Structure 1
Amino acid sequence: MIKLVIIGSGNVAQHLIQAFAKSKEIKVSQVFSRQKETIIPLLDSSKITTNFNDLIEADIYIIAVSDDAISKVSSQLPFENRLVVHTSGSVPIESLDNKNKRGIFYPLQTFTKGKDVDFSLIPICLESENDSDFDLLEKVAKTISNNVFKSNEKQRKALHISAVFVNNFVNEMYRIGNEICEENKVPFEILKPLILETVNKVMTLSPKEAQTGPAKRNDMQTIEAHLDFLSNKNHATIYKILTQSIQNNGKEL
């Protein structure tokens, strides 16, 4: 059985603990958490430590903390020559202290506390500094996911930036749409079938093929009417930028 130690107690750490708990080939031997109470519902308290010096020996140490903390945490680990990986999509492998063997275990998904996910569908991107470490990471990843990929730093960064566009930025569009609905006393729920259809279309069509709307049609009368309606300057600015992006699509700039 492969033994893991997970370092962190946030969304990613908690979801990894739950996912590995279902695997018969993986044992989460210990979790490091400065906030022990957040992990107790997921793991026996005897397996939780708040002290780096109490970390036990394991096959892999997974650092699942904020991007800014990865380097500091890896430098505080009181051992050498063990496999240590982080879960970030944007932090270089070199940010991990080189006293240990280094790798990446990046699950490409948005995680929210209390919201269950099907880990078997989540892509996991892997990197390592040698083949034997990659083989181990791949074996671990495949116990919880059916979508495991080898990536380099540039590819991982590209995926992370793309994920910000298709997830974080799209969600901000939902927030703005909801805000406009609330201002005009219209239920946001009316838009949900449209949201679902938009998502479903890009499962079978390319985003370019799926694009519709006044910007795609170059319907300037409708565009101007929308801009006149928008009283919030920030909403209007975003509308103009996205309209221009759609209109420029396929053109040489």
Structure 2
Amino acid sequence: MRISIIGSGRVATHLTLALKAHGHVFVDVCSRKITHAEGLAARLNARALNHIDNMDLNIDVVIIAVSDQSIGEVVQQLVNIKPTCLVLHTSGSTHVTVISDHLAYAGVFYPLQTFSVEHDVDWLNVPVLIEANTPQQLEIVRLLAQQLSTKVYEYSSAQRLSLHLAAVFACNFSNYCYDVAHQIVQEQGVDFELLFPLMMATTNKATSISPSMAQTGPAMRHDEVILKQHQALLKKYMPNHLEMYRLLSEQIQKRHS
């Protein structure tokens, strides 16, 4: 297929390079900063643009891979040039109607994964959630997704939003807790790597049994002595994390009352 991408960040980069490896041709890379567009376009053998008005419309698919708050703005710019091809966004929390209310052919290609510049993506095992406003367009999205992943699921916008929210807890919030743990041991000159086996064991248990069944710790045991010791340490060295500790401990105690 002939594809153009709007966006040049982490999702755009990983997705386009994976699709290119499967033989798809990229025509345009459009980004607000031309230098960003040029960097990705060079890797795709595509043209770099910083204005959507200049896009080549002789294409099969346009992929919008920008921040959620910018998708609507991009769609309005596409309305001005009247593309007749399928237009996809890659957001987990944005409804498909942000496109279908304005353009004839709309869809969603949402990879449920965290993307970093430093790490390659194992696309075969990345769940890809798809949606489209017509059966014909859905098959196009499905074809693209199945070329990359063995885990392709058709979900509604409401279902996709619930998964995105769950992903924030499972990935973003848990990673922030890892960051806090790093800060705590760093404060006392303790090696953060000592926690790695524990972190891995926690993930393994959460994915093999119910996370509720896997819960351990002083809050789950209602061990008030340890809870107070921890809070005293946080109050002394890292008071900005004290309220979070209290709130999480309280929620664990309610869950395991």
Structure-1 residue corresponding to 2:229: 225
Aligned residues of 2:5 and 2:64 also touching (Cα < 8 A):
yes
- Runs of 4+ in structure 1 off by over 3 angstroms are none
Structure-1 residue corresponding to 2:254: 248
Shift of 1:41: 4.6
Aligned residues of 2:6 and 2:29 also touching (Cα < 8 A):
yes
Aligned residues of 1:17 and 1:42 also touching (Cα < 8 A):
no
Structure-1 residue corresponding to 2:217: 213
Equivalent residue of 1:48, what SS?
A: strand
Separation in 2, partners of 1:37, 1:84: 22
Higher helix share: 2
2:31 to 33, 39, 51: 33
Shift of 1:116: 1.0
Separation in 2, partners of 1:243, 1:210: 15
Structure-1 residue corresponding to 2:64: 63
The answer to whether the aligner puts 1:188 opposite 2:188 as a matched pair is: no
Structure-2 residue corresponding to 1:21: 20
Structure-2 residue corresponding to 1:85: 88
Q: CA RMSD in A?
A: 1.6
Shift of 1:175: 1.1
Q: TM-score by structure 2 length? A: 0.90
- The percent identity for this pair of structures is 36
Q: TM-score by structure 1 length? A: 0.92
Equivalent residue of 2:4, what SS?
A: strand
Separation in 2, partners of 1:41, 1:248: 54
Gaps of 5+ in 2: none
Map 1:1-253; keep pairs closer than 5 Å. Answer: 2-24=1-23, 26-34=24-32, 35-44=36-45, 46-56=46-56, 57-77=58-78, 78-96=81-99, 98-230=102-234, 231=236, 232-249=238-255
Residues 121-154 of structure 1: CA deviation (Å, up to 9, x unaligned)? 1111111111111111001110011111111111
Aligned residues of 2:37 and 2:50 also touching (Cα < 8 A):
yes
Equivalent residue of 1:103, what SS?
A: strand
More displaced 10-residue stretch of structure 1: 120-129 or 77-86: 77-86
